[in-house]
Chains A and B, each alone.
Chain A
Amino acid sequence: MSTVDEAVNRGRNLSSEQFLLLVVGIGAVALLGDLILGLASGTYSISRVARYVTEGILYGLIIGLAGIGLSMTYSILNFANFAHGDYVTTGAFFGWGVTYLVAGWGVASVGPLVLVAPQREVSGAQLDVAITATPIAVLAGLLVAGVATALFVLLIDRLAFKPVRGSGGIPLLITSVGVAFALRYVLVFVYSSSTRGTTASVPSVDFLLVDGYVSIGAHDATLIVAAVALMLGVHFLLQRTKLGKAMRAMSDNRDLALVTGIPTERVIRWTWMIGGGLAGTAGYLMVLWTGTIDWQFGWLLLLLIFAAVILGGIGSIYGAIFGGLVIGVGMHMSMIWLPGGDFTTITAFLLMILVLLIRPSGLFGGKTTA
């Protein structure tokens, strides 16, 4: 009897899965068909769709870059870090403080510059902050965003996470929620809650695409170069270096890593530093790209980062990168049919839910950093 029941259940599961797949498939085909027909008939402008794709890729690179750290801490420390979004914001403020300081040296006093002009004493446009006009200020800020955030995250680990490390994933997760709130309001206290503009306009290259232009600005290019370089760097680190192999070993089997003589605490420290550094860099690049900074953009980005990382298969850095691109491009492409704004967030989570329904372990599956 039991085997019959099993067979029936299996059949039922199969048919419900296939039904779901059918619905998703029909939906995807319908949208694709509408897109192709629309493009062919001129209802949708080709250059507008191309602009959406470009913006989606840029946004996806930021989400993916920030997602790598979240995925790494998940696979090596076994918990979902809700403070990761605020690391993104923290890094952005650290880095932009330095950028303002370098670009505005002698123009304004040091205090407001380091605090990224909390009362809007100066603006990025006044200081002419841009990768083209003030390359040293931007590169210094980018570097500091990475390095200072790495060290800062290490400090937070020592203060908040290390004491509860032995007690499992849930206490760590709840601790991280507390860290997230505390950190965010410390940021408000130090940097104020005002939203300010950070960059001057930059030159761009326009590509003619049938019915209009797609423009790639200097800051878009900076984002692409920096994000891709860092992603390649992480790939190289994990596959080729002793530390990277030890990180993968630890994410495979922490107990065995310990009896093998891998210094697990040191590997954990590096994991925090690399993940935090990438989060801070992603925050800096996000501000460079959007041209504005505020106290909670990282927190708002966190849900999308989670969606990307889970969609890609949590624990895999390649899943995080790919998931980020899927979410970014999907969100922007959906503006063809949706009015934009917060509606695109719905697309992000719809994409995640659909992927999980069809592939529960995410696109790159399993719990592995490799």
Chain B
Amino acid sequence: MAMLDVRDLDAGYGDLQILHGVDLEVAEDEYVVIVGPNGAGKSTAMKSVFGLTTYMGGTVEFKGGDITGRSPDEIIHEGIGYVPQNDNVFPSLTVRENLEMGAYILDEVPEAALESVYDQFPVLRDRQDQKVGSMSGGQQQMVAMGRALMLDPDLLLLDEPSAGLAPDLVDEMFDHVDAINASGTAVLVVEQNAKEALHRCDRGYVLVQGSNRYEDAGEVLLNDDEVRQQFLGG
């Protein structure tokens, strides 16, 4: 039984329905990627898991419990962390304060989690008192991921972590995602950079117009002629 189990999900924003019967599964420790063309509903599917869209039908189960239609602050307590694509840091706060905010729901700042975030992203340890607004895009993305890791979630949702990064930083970002996954956190990633993401993941979904189109191991999707031609540019 999968840790995250999304069944036949309909969701959107207000009256606008974007997802039509989406199914998603993520097992424990698994690395799953959602790819697809612009407007396919990739980010919407991820936001729906985290309770940020208008629910219209279907179920979302996490670790056997129903979290359908729950609010983000409840879902955080269940062990899911979410990193939005844009505006995902508090620019006027320092690195350390950003990370502390990630653990707001705990009574004390979890020093062990803080240390493991600093071990994962050593540059953040060196710059812990710097205001995040003055840092580069790549470093801000590390702060954003670190913030979401402070509660040591069982599942981390990453919305386009490589968006807007310089090409040489994209690889580094994917390495960080690999490392987070290797440390025992399941990850669900939405990516524009489909080839690289499918190379690295365990399993991938191709979403088109708000519905599942393909689902298979990453390497299988990469070698599928139809998928390559339609979604990976040949």
Binding site for B on A (CB under 8 A): 242, 245-246, 248-249, 251-253, 255-263, 368-370
B91 within 8 A of A: yes
B93 within 8 A of A: yes
- Please determine whether B97 and A252 come into contact, CB atoms closer than 8 angstroms: no
- Please determine whether B52 and A259 come into contact, CB atoms closer than 8 angstroms: yes
- Please determine whether A248 and B73 come into contact, CB atoms closer than 8 angstroms: no
- Please determine whether B92 and A260 come into contact, CB atoms closer than 8 angstroms: no
One of B1-9, B17-25, B82-90 at the interface:
B82-90
Nearest 9 CB-CB pairings of A with B: A252-B90, A261-B76, A368-B92, A261-B105, A249-B90, A370-B92, A259-B72, A262-B104, A249-B101
- B151 contacts across to A, CB distance below 8 A: 261
A262 to B98, CA, bound (A): 12
25 contacts between A and B (CB under 8 A): A242-B100, A245-B93, A246-B104, A248-B93, A249-B93, A252-B90, A252-B91, A252-B92, A252-B93, A253-B90, A255-B84, A256-B84, A256-B87, A259-B82, A260-B101, A260-B104, A261-B72, A261-B76, A261-B104, A261-B105, A261-B151, A262-B101, A368-B92, A369-B92, A370-B93
- B31 contacts across to A, CB distance below 8 A: none
- Please determine whether A242 and B50 come into contact, CB atoms closer than 8 angstroms: no
- Residue of A at shortest CB range from B147? A260
- B36 contacts across to A, CB distance below 8 A: none
A261 to B70, CA, bound (A): 13
- A370 contacts across to B, CB distance below 8 A: 92-93
B102 within 8 A of A: yes
- Please determine whether B93 and A263 come into contact, CB atoms closer than 8 angstroms: no
- Please determine whether B82 and A248 come into contact, CB atoms closer than 8 angstroms: no
- Residue of B at shortest CB range from A259? B72
Task: List B95-118 residues whose CB lies under 8 Å from chain A.
Answer: 97, 100-102, 104-105
A253 to B143, CA, bound (A): 15
A-B contact count (CB 8 A): 62
- A255 contacts across to B, CB distance below 8 A: 84, 87
The smallest C-beta distance from B152 to any residue of chain A, in angstroms, reads 13
Most buried by A among B72, B82, B97, B101: B101
A181 to B63, CA, bound (A): 54
Which of B73, B89, B100 touches A258 (beta carbons < 8 Å)? B73
- Please determine whether B101 and A258 come into contact, CB atoms closer than 8 angstroms: no
- Please determine whether A256 and B90 come into contact, CB atoms closer than 8 angstroms: yes
A256 to B86, CA, bound (A): 10
Most buried by B among A252, A260, A262: A260
Which of B76, B92, B147 touches A248 (beta carbons < 8 Å)? B92
Instruction: Type the 1/0 row for B47-77, where 1 means its CB is closer than 8 Å to any CB of A.
Output: 0001010000000000000000000110011
Given A245-B100, A246-B104, answer yes or no on A259-B93 (Cβ-Cβ < 8 Å): no
- Please determine whether B72 and A245 come into contact, CB atoms closer than 8 angstroms: no
- Please determine whether B88 and A256 come into contact, CB atoms closer than 8 angstroms: yes
